Structure 1
């Protein structure tokens, strides 16, 4: 890797056509949950610096959501990018939760009594997948972002709200796309059953899947990815490090945002051992792995600081030998039918990504 951080233009250059409404999606994006004080508070300036560093290094796709920091991530994103030409950016956000001062406590946003998001504004998320709720959510997101429109609007975590998500919420998304308020519509989730049903029954351009297509967990190959291929739906992958266990598979590691159990830690450590034998950082293999699947349009990096962002982007330059993937398969750590990268990630001056 170079001592001087370079931009990722060569990697982001071959944008992927998504849907039929003019969206061309970069291969690399920045996820902003951590920039909304997820699992620890950061300053506004640290968040802004991280987003601006991502832009300096060539990232032109930013994903956010009202839930992330209860509005903090959207506000910080808007502040960081306010002087960037709008045509130079792809911005996605989500709908399904409205931020309200009288919101009841949502236990799904706590673990062991502690909230996932700390030091956030005095509002909380309220579920709302109604037609009006989606329109209101978009209007409030645009206000926090300082934008007139979005490139992508996802339904956010409708696991327990499928009927409303597939009816009133989807109708709202479809109408917003027709009106030009968004270019593409989708859904973002951590689990695949409901996401698969939405792909099968709604005209979604793409989906955002966190944690279920990673070096540690390819469970989406059983349902979601085949459905996306059948319906021409592109996939954005988030959570490539599975909450950090694919950075450091120690007994203290998290998986799916909570402390990992011993079996998961043991499997991650075995993957790391193979990587070490080949002189490859575990994190580099984890970050590059999803690009090999033909349905994957983009991969999100979730850095919370400039040094972390630089580290993640430098991992894209690590050359991973084909023998590493062979050994992971031979060890039973990857199924034989899972696509794996072959050769350097950047394979031509134009920046083809395989």
Structure 2
């Protein structure tokens, strides 16, 4: 399973704004330089652009030295409609269209296409990608298909990646997943995964990867106009983030460092993914992840009501 800091690669595929091949190459190369060895991608990210760009860098390194995950559930089909993909969040040409497909055949075809774009013959982890509205097919068809791929050695581990905790808890309890990717639901601003998902993962021995540590931007740089869960931030959450930032500044750290440290502190969590679109952002995330957060910071957060007392923090026994 992946450990430590990982790189999420939606950003290098032009999430919201255009990113060049060169910028993407430099970002992934910087991640490797900083010792990051877990890379997560998906066909959805830039209609395959993320996988191609990531593969171009990783093929320069020995396959056994890194952990690679991609996702299935959105199959890409060629499209001649033209235009761009900004309706889905990516500043790339709309060369393909996404088709929801959690059938056994769709899973295998989608993974085969990903392997080709990445230039590898296997991935370490494959996640079901956002099966929110396709639960029945995901549990009935996709999970058995992933188990078969795992038994064949095409993938090392299987799981699901979602922006919610409830269905991920069901995957942990009812299926034979090895790992789940939970985005945005275990952060300084949202601990909903703490109620059931994380305890269930500990009980079942399932690894948890946390994505969205900054809640899509708010915790990275809280200010009016910031985004929270890919939308405009509600005023009360902006106020909460600004108060947290003031506490962080009093203790000589950044809110980014605290956000990453918090995600990594729970015993179920094996890795925290950060998204970056440039080498500078990668270096900043690596610096923040390596920054020790003083115990007095966590104490002040709790005393001011900004963090629940039962949420584990670094260097503290979570039991």
> TM-score normalized by structure 1?
0.86
SS at match of 2:142: helix
Which residue is 1:328 aligned to? 301
Are residues 1:215 and 2:215 paired? no
Candidates 118, 126, 129, aligned match of 1:156: 129
Which residue is 2:93 aligned to? 120
Number of corresponding residues: 313
- Matched ranges for 1:66-81 at <5 A: 66-81=43-58
Cα drift, residue 318 of structure 1: 2.1
Unaligned runs of 5+ in 2: none
Are residues 1:283 and 2:256 paired? yes
List 4+ stretches of structure 1 deviating above 6 A.
none
Contact 1:97 1:126 survives alignment (8 Å): yes
Contact 1:71 1:121 survives alignment (8 Å): no
Contact 1:250 1:265 survives alignment (8 Å): yes
Are residues 1:94 and 2:67 paired? no
Contact 1:199 1:228 survives alignment (8 Å): yes
Q: Distance in 1 between matches of 2:136 and 2:203?
A: 22
Contact 1:103 1:126 survives alignment (8 Å): no
- Using the TM superposition, name which of 256-265 and 174-183 deviates more: 256-265
Contact 2:79 2:95 survives alignment (8 Å): no
Which residue is 2:19 aligned to? 42
Change (3 A) 1:208 1:103: farther
Which residue is 1:319 aligned to? 292
Which residue is 2:109 aligned to? 136
Cα drift, residue 178 of structure 1: 0.3
Cα drift, residue 292 of structure 1: 1.1
SS at match of 2:98: strand
Candidates 262, 274, 281, aligned match of 1:301: 274
Cα drift, residue 54 of structure 1: 0.9
Root mean square deviation of aligned Cα: 1.6
Cα drift, residue 102 of structure 1: 4.6
Which residue is 2:165 aligned to? 192
- Using the TM superposition, name which of 67-76 and 309-318 deviates more: 309-318
Q: Distance in 2 between matches of 1:221 and 1:240?
A: 14
Q: Distance in 2 between matches of 1:121 and 1:88?
A: 34
Which residue is 1:82 aligned to? 59
Contact 2:80 2:95 survives alignment (8 Å): no
- Using the TM superposition, name which of 249-258 and 114-123 deviates more: 114-123
Deviations 1:225-256 (A, max 9, x none): 12212221110011111111011111100001
Cα drift, residue 121 of structure 1: 4.2
Q: Distance in 2 between matches of 1:216 and 1:40?
A: 26
Which residue is 1:9 aligned to? none
Are residues 1:342 and 2:319 paired? no
Q: Distance in 1 between matches of 2:80 and 2:177?
A: 30
Which residue is 2:224 aligned to? 251
Deviations 1:275-311 (A, max 9, x none): 1121211111111111210000111121110011111
Unaligned runs of 5+ in 1: 1-23, 344-354
Contact 2:41 2:51 survives alignment (8 Å): yes
Candidates 170, 174, 177, aligned match of 1:201: 174
Cα drift, residue 98 of structure 1: 0.4
